Amino acid sequence: MPARGLPRRIRLRFFLRPVALTAGATGRVAGARFERTLPDGRGGVAGSGRYEEIPAQLVLRSVGYRGVPLDGLPFDPERGTVPHAAGRVLRDGVPSPGEYVAGWIKRGPTGVIGTNRPCAKETVRSLLDDAPALVRKELPGDPLPGCARRGCGRWSGRGGWRSSVRRRSWGVRSGGAW
């Protein structure tokens, strides 16, 4: 540990996957073991089989994400994503009409904030291309009353949905603009 008054240094390391925390003689954290990763050519990374230890006295978990399965939705456990083609959810390799994904559940935890825009744009383009067929699709029942019973909001006829969810999606909060 540096003496008081001396500068401290933070080093950011990339292409390392945490594998384990190591303990010192007192049982406290002494370091972390990482596997070096390499780009896999599909927008993700793969383990290289090479490991390194980094001494540490403090471990912080950074924001990260790995998709988890949702009941009724296909899921690729290896990648932590929903299988898709241009944002259209795939069921047994075939696009499922009316089901779409965007963001990390679509591509995995990759990219930066700016990556979300082209990702979402691709999905929206698919939805718009599919829209003429979707509006003609017969549904087994009206989903609106069921959604209102589950607390999604309430339908007010000509006025549409009355819900904080809708206001948030439009960028408006109760009593004024965001």
Q: What is the mean pLDDT of the chain?
A: 78
pLDDT of residue 155 exceeding 80: no
Q: Cα(114)–Cα(106) distance, rounded to whole angstroms?
A: 15
Q: What percent of the chain clears pLDDT 90, i.e. is strictly above it? A: 33
Tell me what the mean pLDDT of segment 95-115 comes to: 84
Kindly report, residue by residue over 19-59, the tens digit of the pLDDT. Answer: 999 999 998 999 999 999 998 887 778 899 999 999 988 88
In order of 3, 18, 29, 37, 177, the CA distances from 10 in angstroms are 16, 17, 18, 21, 40
Tell me what the mean pLDDT of segment 66-75 comes to: 86
Out of 51-55, 145-149, 173-177, least confident range: 173-177
Supply the pTM of this predicted model. Answer: 0.49
Q: Cα(73)–Cα(82) distance, rounded to whole angstroms?
A: 8
